[in-house]
Chains A and B, each alone.
Chain A
Amino acid sequence: MLHKLYQKVILKYPLSILILLISSIFIFSMNITKLEIDASAETLLLHDDKDLEFSRTIAKRFKTDDVLILAYKPKQGLLSEQSLETLTHLSTDLEKLPGVKSVDSLINVPLFFSPIREIDDLISETRTLKSADVNLSQVKQEFLTSPLYKDFLVNKDFTISSIIIHLHQDPEYFALLEERNRLRDKQAVNSLTKEEKQALHDVRIAFKEHRDKQRIFDENNIKEIRALITKYQNNALFFLGGAQMISNDIVGFVKNDLLIYGSTLILLIILVLGFVFRQPRWIILPILICTLSVITITSSLGFFNWEITVISSNFIALQLIITISIVLHLIVRYEELLALYPRASSKRLILYTMLTKATPTFFAILTTIAGFSSLLYSHIYPVINLGWMMSAGISMSLIIAFIVFPTVLMLLKKTPPRDQKRSLSFIPSLTAKIVLHDKKSIYLITLFTIIFSITGASQLIVENSFISYFKKDTAIYQGMKIIDQELGGTTPLDVILTLSEDNSTFPHDTATEENSEAFLDSFEDEFSAVEDQDQYWFTDEKIKLIKKVHGYLTQLPQIGEVQSFATLLDTGKILNDNKQLDSVDLAIIYQKLPQKYRDIILTPYVNIEHDQLRFFTRVVDSNETLRRDALLKKIQNELSQSIDPDVATVRLSNLMVLYNNMLQSLFHSQITMVGLVLFIVFIMFLLLFRSFKLTLIALIVNIVPIGMVFGFMGWLHIPLDIMTITIAAIAMGIGIDDTIHYIHRFQVEFEKDNHYYLSMHRTNNSIGNAMYFTTLVIVIGFSILILSNLIPTIYFGLLTMLVMVAALISDLVLLPKLLLLFKPFKRVK
């Protein structure tokens, strides 16, 4: 069928087919403009995570704000006239920005101990640095020692202070999200009515539109803040931090990398292709096919509204690798046939090239798709997305390559065969010699690699620290580090205590008293009627509990800032002559406290209606001893053990928990995924080769380079995270392609003379060259990624290079050695 298709259509009307294909790709490419990059925290979360729902409820219940933190390091002292003046102007300017709700800094936070006054005086008149007659040394002392401000508003050395920028909340976002999720959940359980289906469709569009609008708004907001900062840079150093800023910067870096490194990579590939093949057609053709494939897939992403995330930003690079591999195999095969049959017609050569490469390429692509489809089991939206993108992308590459390659060649004039003695292609024949003459070292090296892989893989850690995404010399790294280490940490973590309901039941006794039961009951009724009023909520038991949890969290070295109701109790104690405020004091303060103060000091930490307490902390991301999962488990276990479940239950919440869930899921799914890929590939090998022996050999040859990647990651302490997870899939994709091509060719060569040694030589010198050139092109091309500012991109580049080389060596050395050893092919007479 393929034969007919090529003869009667593709090779018969090459120009028309080519024009048709290219023009339809270009028409479709209009959708490229719809392509979007989304690096928001939302994309990094598990999509069926129960903790996500809980975190959203908590954020709503405790009315938490989104904040950006701006570290301010003036050239003069923090409290010098000039520094305060700069701060005043900057704060005023910041507050004028449409995205900014309010700004808190040294100049407007309330002063409680400068000097110490009575609580009611504090409520009636709030003193700040702007108040007349403030004593600056008293103020400095307060900032350095106050439980409210120390190590968070100012650093220990009193050289840097935080400017906390509260951003406007976006209630519409959550309203739309909730509505969408509600309908989606309903859809999952039972079918929706016609109206509901329409509603779901509408809300999906509305949500996306709103989010896109908001994203641009947020991006502009950060741009405006940065522009403002530059205005004041003569007087001070500024560092901007906060979750929103991190995602904004990652998007910036990803876009930048896509553009600069993407184009440089193409240039490098052109250079290497020119160097290897020395013919313009073998440069133009691969680049044309790669470009058309990338345009098609990116247009499809735009068309289907699939967004590129931090994780899937690698997909173009991945697609390039696989497309180049397809094309180089075709070129090498064509050249080989040309050298063998220099007088054959161009059409026959092309037809034979396409037909002989169709089966192995098709199977190679199929197994690669199987490899990538394992990503669908990860539960992480962008990883799943990458799985789909790659499966679709490489299918398109296959089709495009198998149409463009023959049609373009048909249109070009046949060139005479080139001299095969290229200085560059000595490697495959060298490896053939090694395989032949080496007795033990291949096995020894393989054994060593396996030991290296196992010991390395056992040291693999799963961490995802945003700070380590950036190079140490970037401004963003330095800023994040200062905020992280000096001003209270980065990733927010909430500890939520839900108090148990009063379940005490008192036995009724019949003892006679001077006061009869009825008499006491009349008091009982009187008091029971009002006992649930909010002011009575602050009991000594709760205070003790709050202080205990707060104290526990404060002593953890990986935790920076801790804010809770205990912070206010400590402040109250200082104001109360160092005597603890008791429940009567607190009830009275609560009664007298105006609502605006309740919103500031109580609402974020205490929810009386739901009997919940919130302890807000920030985790020090740069702490080297930080092991996220272990820390969260430790906090959960130790608090659960020390708090009677009849009193309260503990649950952790906020970004830290969600990221960790994602990482853990990633780690566990990585194991499942690798297992699954191996199983799928095993079945596919079995179908393709119809030999159990051959299948096992092929599998071993692929396991070694994958194991080596994990070994390297373990030994070099490169954490397994959202970026590096794709490496296993790449390793599979590339390794398996090479293996299939090699074995397929070996089989063809073996059928000629039933001679293993000679077959190996011929295979290495033909297909070996294609594999070697592919590796050479990719390795040199990808070396440019090492210059990226984004560490994950550097790792991606390095590990890809490593995988390519390891897979090549495994396929050119270990595979023939095993073929020679086990002799899996049947002799053909």
Chain B
Amino acid sequence: MVKKLMLILLLSVVSLYAIEEKDIKHVMDTKVNKVLTILKDNTLSQHQKEQKCIAVIDDVFDYDIMAQISLGKRWRSLTKSEKTLFSKRFEKKLKLSYLDKLRLYNNEKVILKEVQKVKPTRSTLETLIIGRDDTYKVIYMFYKKRNTNHWYIYDVNLVGVSILQTYRKQFSEFLQTKTVQELIESL
């Protein structure tokens, strides 16, 4: 179950760079199918599949904003170099933790619902992953970057669990007794 759910993150590994609000569903639909094609391609090795997906993953999420949210108010106390280093490490960790779930893909279908605008700067896209026995709800959280019309994913909610929130909680606990430097090290 867990592994299957993780997969959806990979399925969304499509180029969403400079995606506009009205295009969110369309772009997502196309790109998800594209990734599914990569995954179904038996001529590719696991490593190749991963590489192909990773090639586009960088543009999907706004890792910088994710890194900031994950640290909460603590972010403001970091030096500039710490911020850069933390963002880099966090991005890598996120990617790594999803990549190893790739090979679990087992012909699940993905259905995209309509985009919901929650606030002027927030939208959500609900998707359903339909497997052999179960259907799981996954919600992509988009935000509109300031002064532009471009939308980025800042969090993914898997069956009621916000990925970013789990990291926030974890880092906040870590920093209760340890330093930011140690946190960066541990990533």
Contacts and interface: CB of A to CB of B under 8 A. Distances in A.
Interface of A: 118-121, 123-124, 500, 502-504, 506-509, 511, 515, 517, 519-520, 522-524, 527-528, 530-531, 533, 535-537, 539-542, 576, 579, 581-585, 587-589, 591-592, 644, 646-647
B174 A523 contact: no
A412 B73 CA distance: 100
Contacts of A647: 176-177
A134 B142 CA distance: 48
Contacts, number: 120
A409 B19 CA distance: 117
A587 B162 CA distance: 9
A359 to B, nearest CB: 73
Interface residues of B, number: 42
B170 A523 contact: no
Q: Which 10 A-B pairs have the closest CB atoms?
A: A120-B1, A587-B161, A539-B170, A506-B73, A541-B173, A585-B2, A536-B169, A509-B76, A506-B74, A591-B160
A583 B166 contact: yes
A120 B177 contact: no
Interface in B133-187: 133-134, 143, 146, 154, 158-170, 172-177
B176 A504 contact: yes
Interface stretch (B32-40, B47-55, B64-72): B64-72
B162 to A, nearest CB: 7
Contact of A588 (B68, B158, B169): B158
A540 B172 CA distance: 11
Contact of A515 (B68, B100, B160): B68
B42 interface: no
Nearest to A125: B133
Contact of A531 (B2, B158, B169): B169
Given A504-B175, A506-B76, 19 more contacts: A118-B4, A120-B4, A121-B133, A123-B1, A506-B74, A508-B73, A515-B146, A520-B76, A523-B154, A530-B162, A583-B166, A583-B167, A583-B169, A583-B170, A584-B158, A584-B161, A588-B2, A591-B161, A646-B177
A527 B161 contact: no
A542 B173 contact: yes
B43 interface: no
Given A506-B74, A583-B170, A500 B1 contact: no
Contacts of B173: 502, 539, 541-542
B56 interface: no
Of A121, A528, A576, A587, the most chain B CB neighbours within 10 A belong to A587
Contacts of B160: 535, 591
B112 interface: no
8 contacts: A118-B3, A509-B76, A511-B76, A523-B68, A533-B165, A541-B173, A584-B161, A587-B161
A531 B165 contact: yes
Given A502-B173, A504-B172, A541-B174, A527 B2 contact: no
Contact of B176 (A120, A517, A646): A646
A517 B72 CA distance: 11
Of A121, A536, A581, the most chain B CB neighbours within 10 A belong to A536
A591 B161 CA distance: 8
B169 A539 contact: yes
B77 interface: yes
Say whether chain B's binding surface is mostly helix, strand, loop, or mixed: helix
Contacts of B77: 506-507, 509
A559 to B, nearest CB: 27
Of A118, A506, A515, A533, the most chain B CB neighbours within 10 A belong to A506
A587 B73 contact: no
A583 B100 CA distance: 16
A644 B158 CA distance: 33
Nearest to B76: A509
A582 B97 contact: yes
A530 B165 contact: yes
B75 interface: yes
Nearest to B73: A506
B5 interface: yes
Of A123, A515, A581, the most chain B CB neighbours within 10 A belong to A515
Contacts of B176: 500, 502-504, 646-647
B1 A588 contact: yes
A510 to B, nearest CB: 8
Contact of A589 (B2, B65, B100): B2
Contacts of A507: 76-77
A536 B157 CA distance: 12
A671 to B, nearest CB: 42
Nearest to A511: B76
Contacts of A588: 1-2, 5, 158-159, 161
Contacts of A515: 65, 68, 146
A592 B133 CA distance: 14
Nearest to A540: B170
Nearest to A520: B68
Contact of A536 (B1, B65, B166, B177): B166
Contacts of A522: 121
Nearest to B176: A504
Contacts of A587: 161, 166
A119 B177 CA distance: 33
Of B2, B65, B77, B121, the most chain A CB neighbours within 10 A belong to B2
Interface string B85-101: 00000000000010010
A527 B69 contact: yes
Contacts of B168: 527, 531
Contact of A119 (B1, B72, B75): B1
B159 A591 contact: yes
A298 to B, nearest CB: 61
A801 B6 CA distance: 76
A583 B168 CA distance: 11
Contacts of A579: 100
Contacts of A540: 170, 174
A523 B71 CA distance: 11
Nearest to B186: A540
B69 A584 contact: no
A515 B75 CA distance: 12
